[in-house]
Structure 1
Amino acid sequence: MKTILWATLSANGNYAQSSPENPPKQEALVNFAKHANIAGNFIVGRKTFEGMLANGGGKEFAGLDIVVISRNNKAIPGVTIVSSPQEALHVLTEKGYHTALLSGGADLHNSFLAGNLVDEIIFNIAPVLEGKGLNLVINKTDYTCKPVELLNVKSLGNGIVHLHYRVQK
């Protein structure tokens, strides 16, 4: 199974944080929906998924298989709850998918990266600088360098740059 990590980052490399004063860029949201519809699914952490629902999101994902990774087994209607990245990939493989789109958040992304479970990365770089934020970490104890190959660069409009990489394994 090919796993694609998708994230919007600030221009200084942090996860772009959204708030009422700094809402997510529409171009990035459209890009995510496009990739989710192509894959037919996405994997997301519980807090990120609940944030999507609280902000009125979710309607554009009707018909997609959504897998939520959570330590809390409390059911969410219309999604599959699992407890690990490997279990999420297993569920999607069993359903016949060949590609899994990995949404957010930072802890979830980092767990997939630490497990060497990411094949491609899509970064949408938002035109903002943030003083505080979360970032991707491959290994929290040692300096690790993981080469990536640039597959594509394009502008999504409104100052957002789309970068698509293949992770070298």
Structure 2
Amino acid sequence: MAKLIYTAITSLDGYIEDRNGNFDWAMPDEEVHGYVNNLERGNGTFLLGRRMYQTMAVWEEIHVQSGHPEVMRDYAAIWHGGDKVVYSGTLDHATTERTRIERVFDPENVRRMKADSATDLSVGGAQLAGVALRAGLVDEIHLLISPVLVGGGKPALPEIDATRLELLGQRGFGNGVVHLHYAVRNS
């Protein structure tokens, strides 16, 4: 069975966006970006909320543009090559290839997708990841912790019932970012 994986770049105090919705402090350098590319490379399907999808759709354009650094072109190819499922009650149409819109996040449908998939799935966006975590669907969490305190904003992890995690790996980077990789141990 495929795994559902949540990956987030977060501040040390646990936010993916500051109070103003900014995340420019989270922009990875080439080393971290390449590492994230390798984390995402095994995912064949990206599950996204509307806001995350609209933020990430730029990778579809980068895929066909020249002049970007290799690490960005590599991620654009990963993005372009994956299927995207966007959960939105308001989005009328997709602007990227290999994308379908679902009006409602259905945990049973995601369980079927995991069971039927030959590749892992990624859940993107803290809100959607929270729904998936509460439904017991997330198998692994990758947190890339940036050396910054933003003092508030959108949390990387939702309020949920106590959940056991098992540390699978950790790595530090030259720019101070730390990667923590956990398995979710659902009861």
Shorter-chain TM-score bucket reads 0.7 to 0.9
Report what 2:123 is aligned to. 102
Rounded to whole Å, the distance in 2 between the matches of 1:22 and 1:147 is 29
Contact 2:16 2:154 in 1 (8 A): yes
Report what 2:148 is aligned to. 128
Report what 1:6 is aligned to. 7
Note the C-alpha offset of 1:40. 2.2
Note the C-alpha offset of 1:154. 0.7
What amino acid sits opposite 2:48 in the alignment?
V
1:22 aligned residue (20, 25, 28): 25
Note the C-alpha offset of 1:97. 3.0
Q: Does 73-82 or 3-12 show the bigger shift?
A: 73-82
Contact 1:7 1:123 in 2 (8 A): yes
SS of 2:8's partner is strand
> In percent, how many aligned pairs have the same letter?
28
CA separation of 1:51/1:62 partners in 2, compared to 1, >3 Å: closer, same or farther? Answer: same
Note the C-alpha offset of 1:89. 5.1
Rounded to whole Å, the distance in 2 between the matches of 1:111 and 1:124 is 20
2:59 paired with 1:42: no
Note the C-alpha offset of 1:23. 5.6
Note the C-alpha offset of 1:52. 2.2
RMSD (Å), alpha carbons: 2.4
Name the structure where helix makes up a greater proportion of residues.
2
Q: How does 1:69-84 map to 2 (within 5 A)?
A: 69-72=87-90, 74-76=92-94, 77-78=96-97, 79-82=99-102, 83-84=104-105
Q: C-alpha offsets along residues 10-49 of structure 1, whole Å, 9 cap, x if unaligned?
A: 0111224574853622354433332222122221111111
Counting matched residue pairs gives 161
SS of 1:62's partner is helix
2:37 aligned residue (11, 33, 36): 33
CA separation of 1:85/1:11 partners in 2, compared to 1, >3 Å: closer, same or farther? Answer: farther
Report what 1:66 is aligned to. 84
Report what 1:145 is aligned to. 162
After the TM superposition, which segments of 4 or more aligned residues of structure 1 sit over 6 Å from their partners? none
Note the C-alpha offset of 1:150. 0.2
Rounded to whole Å, the distance in 2 between the matches of 1:23 and 1:126 is 6
